[in-house]
Every structure is written in C-alpha cells, then in structure tokens.
Structure 1
Amino acid sequence: MGTLEGDLLRALHSVTHHNFLFFFFVSKGNSELPTAVNITWSSINFKTILQWQPEPTTYVYTVEISGINSNWEKVCIHTKETECDVTDKLEKIKDTYTAHIVPEMLSETEKIFANKVFPMPGINSKHVFMCALAKIGRPGIQTYELTDSKLKVLVEDPLTPYRFPNKSFKSIRDIFKNDLEYTLYYWKDQSTGKKEVTSKSNQFEISVDKGKNYCFYVQATILSRKENRKSQESKVNCTHQRDVLDVPIILTVFPKLCTLKMCPTRQIYKLFIELG
C-alpha cells in the first residue's frame, strides 16, 4: 500500500506501544462527550430499531452490535440521528446481543478507521434477547368463507425481514414453528357475545348458526413467552350472507299484455291491481 492508510496500518502493526497510546487517546476523548441515555429496542416481526438520546450537536454516533455467538460489527456509522435500524445484524434470533452507542468527534485519523471496531470503556450499552424482544405484528386474513352452517378462515402469517437462500421472506411460522398458535375470536353480527377457538395451524373451520352473519378477527400467541406473548389483532372481517326468505317470490309473465322490459312501472302496478 502506498497510501496514507497503508502507512498508518504498517506503523500501528510495528509499534505496539504507540498502538495502545493511540486508542487510549481516542477513548479518553470520547468519554468526555455526552453518554447516550434512554436506550430502547423496539421490534415488530423482527424489524428492530435502536433508539437513544440526546441528539448530537458537534459530534456523531456509531452503533456497535455484538452477539454472544457473533463478532462486533458497526452499523449506522457516524450518524447524526438518534435511531438505527439494526435488523440485518440480529438474524440469529436465539442469540443475546449487546449494542454500544459510541459518541465520536471525527478527525482524519478516525475516518480512516471508520470500518474498524474498537469497543471502548465508559460507553453506554444495552443488552437484548431477540427471541423475547420482538413483538408480533398483525396477522392477515387470507381467505374466509361462510357456507351453510360452517365458517372457514385461513390466516396469513406476518412476514419478517429475514430471507431464505431463494430470497423469499421468512414468516413468523418459519421462526417459531410449533411455538406459534392462533386464536379466532368470533361473534354474531350486531351481537356482543364473543366466542373463541385456538389452532396450531393457520386454518379454522367452526360450526355457526345457519343463515346468520358473523364477525371475527385472529391473534397469534407465542406459547413459550412470558412477555410479548400476544400479537397485534388482525382487522375485523364480517360475512355478508343474505337472509333466505321462507316464501319464494313467483313472477308470472303475461305475454299478451306486456313484458317486464316493455311495461312501465305504473302499468305493471295497474296490471296486478286488475288481476287481484
């Protein structure tokens, strides 16, 4: 390397004592900047946002992420924001992760090492177990059908940001497998009496009163969790089956007099009066 970066890297490798002095200086400088506080993780369907305070003025932030089973990585490098989308760094959902929020004053030297990770003492951090953190978003209703005295509902799993090798998105069913359960809440239209039924699959088929309309919604549950067990509720759907009349309507056409297409309404009314 004939560049400034190459010269600096060779110098740091050959002079170990200067190496420690250099990073001690950076650590001391950063420790004098405001420490990030009120650090929070928020995650829905494993799309995870890290937030903190205060807003930077004459400095920037860099976020560092590490799992018990993974190395430190930088994300949102030199940002002036107070939030960072860390989803891509947390795909091993059964791992426990630590985030460092690092305040930094940028110098030319620090810009050169922007992609190197050097965790420093005195920087605020936050730990999280992803499998327990992520809230489950709203499930969808893929299809529903009311026939005779049966209501059939097919639930659509919420998708996560993570992908299979073929680039299709993983659903929460792919993540939680048999730990996922759905509950269907249903009631007669214009009634307050709510019933519920659970299923380990995405399909429901329940017996209902013939000729009545029903409203319903679904909600997912992660059975092994103590917190964040329930998902958001799906939208409420209602069937629109028309009531069947017991007395059939019979229309008799008298070709001699007129047809429905040609008779004015007044003439049809007069016709039925005369025939009656």
Structure 2
Amino acid sequence: ASQRHREGAARFASLVARSELIGAAEEATFRKQRGYAVNITWSSINFKTILKWQPKPSVTWRETSDTRKKCIMTTETECDVTDALRNVKETYTAHILSVKSLVEDNFEEPLFASSEKFTPYNQTIIGKPEIQHYTQEDSKLNVVFRDPLTPYMFSNGSFQSVRDIFKHDLEYKLYYWKDQSSGKKDATTKSHMFDISVDNKNNYCFYVQGIIPSRRENRNGQESMVLCTTIERTILDGMYLVKSVVLPSAFQQKDTSILNVFYNSIKCDT
C-alpha cells in the first residue's frame, strides 16, 4: 500500500510539474490539442437558444445560484438550452466538459471550458414580424402585423410572443419608400398597426422591424419581408384604386414575386 501511495504521489507531482511548464503563449494550442471545447457561442432568436462549440464534448450550464446538466455524453457540437433559460433576465454561463474514452488510462482532471456570459433578455435577437394585412387607400398606408412567437408557453398551452416578455421595452419601426426610389422614411409604434400618410399617386414598398431601444447591443431585430402596394388609375375619371391585401398564412414567407401571382387587379365598373 505504501509503495502504491508513493507511485501515485510521484505521478501527481509529474502532472503538476507538466502543467506549470505550459506558458501563456502555448495555452490556447494546448487546450485545443488536449480536447478542450473551443469557439463556444450562444445563438438565440426569439428566446430559442442554442449553445454551439467545437469539438465534441458534453455540456453543463450554470446561472448565478444553480448548476444543471444538459446534453450529457452528446456526440453533437450544439445543445438546445431553451428550456433551461426560462428565467430570461438571469445571466448564464455554460461550462463545457470534454470527456475522454473510458478505455484510456487517464489520470488527468476533466477538461472544462467556459462560455461568455449570456442574458437572454438582453441578447436574444428579435425575429421577423409577420405582415398580416396592408392597404393603401387615398393618402393612407395601413399595415397590420403580428409579433414573433417564442418557444415558451402560457399555462393554457398558447405560445408567448416577444411582446408578452418584453412588454413596453418593445417597439416596431416601419421603413417605407416610394417604389423605384431609394429615399426611406420611418414610423414607430408600440401597437400592431401602422397608419401613415403617403402620396396617393405613388406605390410604396415597406418592411417592419422590432426594436429594443433600451439595449446597448442587438437593438434591431430581423426585418420582415419587403412588400409593395399597387395602385391603378381609371381612364375616365383619373380615380386611383388600391389593392387591399390579406396575406394567407401559407404564403406569408414566400417571395413577393410569387405573391403577386395571387393578387388580381381591382377594376372599377363605369
């Protein structure tokens, strides 16, 4: 027993000595060669959060006062941690554990690597708003849209929207411009609708974007699809008519050139 104790102590001393010989300049290379997780990143849209890394270890995650495990013994290089981040205002750190094969004679400590801190409320990206309906009548452009949904549910089983979580911190901007023109204008709302004054002799193109003004970073969300109005003029009285468009859910994410096939011109009986 005494002999085994001395051998174990000698082996431990050797490992410590080897560790101390590694300088700062060699640390990154050493960590990669030894199998530490590298390139650890958070990817989060509408609070659906994926942790990604290289190469292929397992992962635990930690918040201020708790530690839990996710994706144990995974062979993938990413982990969906959405359900573990329900407290969206908490700050989280992921700790990636590289696990060696059980057949290896391994006396070294586990290989841990940590991610940067991540706060879902401050860092998740706002996804694309869904344009539901728009009209251009006389000198008014009206646009109705819907908030992006999150993976989180209410007790009744319906999904929470980003507005349900951000509340008054969330607003939307409408960017609009005359068709064939590059000069953009914008309007802001905290509701689900824009109603703005435009020139009734021109078609307008537009898109909607969610914004969190209180943020220092990631203030602007993803842009909705770009849509354009169409106005027509009768020969007899010069009257301008405008299409009112309700987007079918099956086509809301299609290209506008495809959408236009389904929108027949509105004619005026004279």
TM-score where L is the length of structure 1? 0.68
CA RMSD of aligned residues (A): 2.4
Give 1:106 deviation, angstroms: 5.7
Q: For the Cα contact (< 8 Å) 1:139–1:157, is it kept in 2?
A: yes
Give 1:175 deviation, angstroms: 1.1
Gaps of 5+ in 1: 1-27, 109-119, 249-276
Q: Determine which of 94, 98, 106 is the counterpart of 1:99.
A: 94
Give 1:221 deviation, angstroms: 0.7
Instruction: Return the alpha-carbon distance in structure 1 between the equivalents of residues 114 and 237 of structure 2.
Output: 74
Instruction: Return the alpha-carbon distance in structure 2 between the equivalents of residues 244 and 47 of structure 1.
Output: 50
Q: Determine which of 59, 63, 67 is the counterpart of 2:59.
A: 63
- Map 1:238-257 onto structure 2 (within 5 A): 238-247=228-237
Q: For the Cα contact (< 8 Å) 2:99–2:110, is it kept in 1?
A: no
Q: Which residue number corresponds to residue 41 of structure 1?
A: 42
Instruction: Return the alpha-carbon distance in structure 2 between the equivalents of residues 78 and 166 of structure 1.
Output: 34
SS at match of 2:224: coil
Q: Which residue number corresponds to residue 236 of structure 1?
A: 226
- Map 1:9-88 onto structure 2 (within 5 A): 34-54=35-55, 56=56, 61-69=57-65, 71-88=66-83
Matched, 1:129 2:125: no
Instruction: Return the alpha-carbon distance in structure 1 between the equivalents of residues 235 and 169 of structure 2.
Output: 46
Instruction: Return the alpha-carbon distance in structure 1 between the equivalents of residues 156 and 53 of structure 2.
Output: 35
- Map 1:170-185 onto structure 2 (within 5 A): 170-185=160-175
- Map 1:97-176 onto structure 2 (within 5 A): 97-105=92-100, 107=102, 123-126=112-115, 127-176=117-166
Q: For the Cα contact (< 8 Å) 1:45–1:158, is it kept in 2?
A: yes
Q: For the Cα contact (< 8 Å) 2:98–2:111, is it kept in 1?
A: no
SS at match of 1:89: helix
Matched, 1:205 2:195: yes
Q: For the Cα contact (< 8 Å) 2:35–2:111, is it kept in 1?
A: no
Q: Which residue number corresponds to residue 215 of structure 1?
A: 205
Residue-by-residue CA offset, 1:222-266 (whole Å, 9 max, x unaligned): 011000000111111111221233448xxxxxxxxxxxxxxxxxx
Q: Which residue number corresponds to residue 251 of structure 1?
A: none
Q: Which residue number corresponds to residue 246 of structure 2?
A: none
Q: Which residue number corresponds to residue 7 of structure 2?
A: none
Instruction: Return the alpha-carbon distance in structure 2 between the equivalents of residues 76 and 139 of structure 1.
Output: 31
Q: For the Cα contact (< 8 Å) 1:33–1:104, is it kept in 2?
A: no
Q: Which moved more, 1:122-131 or 1:169-178?
A: 122-131
Instruction: Return the alpha-carbon distance in structure 2 between the equivalents of residues 40 and 235 of structure 1.
Output: 27
Instruction: Return the alpha-carbon distance in structure 2 between the equivalents of residues 207 and 141 of structure 1.
Output: 19
Percent identity among equivalent residues?
54
Instruction: Give, as a single letter, the amino acid of the residue that structure 1 aligns with 2:183.
Output: G
Q: For the Cα contact (< 8 Å) 1:160–1:170, is it kept in 2?
A: yes
Instruction: Give, as a single letter, the amino acid of the residue that structure 2 aligns with 1:76.
Output: C
Instruction: Return the alpha-carbon distance in structure 2 between the equivalents of residues 95 and 121 of structure 1.
Output: 27
Give 1:105 deviation, angstroms: 3.4
CA shift in 2, pair 1:101/1:125, >3 Å: same
Instruction: Return the alpha-carbon distance in structure 1 between the equivalents of residues 47 and 237 of structure 2.
Output: 56
Instruction: Return the alpha-carbon distance in structure 2 between the equivalents of residues 147 and 247 of structure 1.
Output: 17
Q: Which residue number corresponds to residue 227 of structure 1?
A: 217
Q: For the Cα contact (< 8 Å) 2:98–2:110, is it kept in 1?
A: no
SS at match of 2:232: coil
Instruction: Return the alpha-carbon distance in structure 2 between the equivalents of residues 85 and 150 of structure 1.
Output: 44
Give 1:210 deviation, angstroms: 2.1
TM-score where L is the length of structure 2? 0.69
**Greater gyration radius:** 1
Gaps of 5+ in 2: 1-15, 17-30, 104-108, 239-270
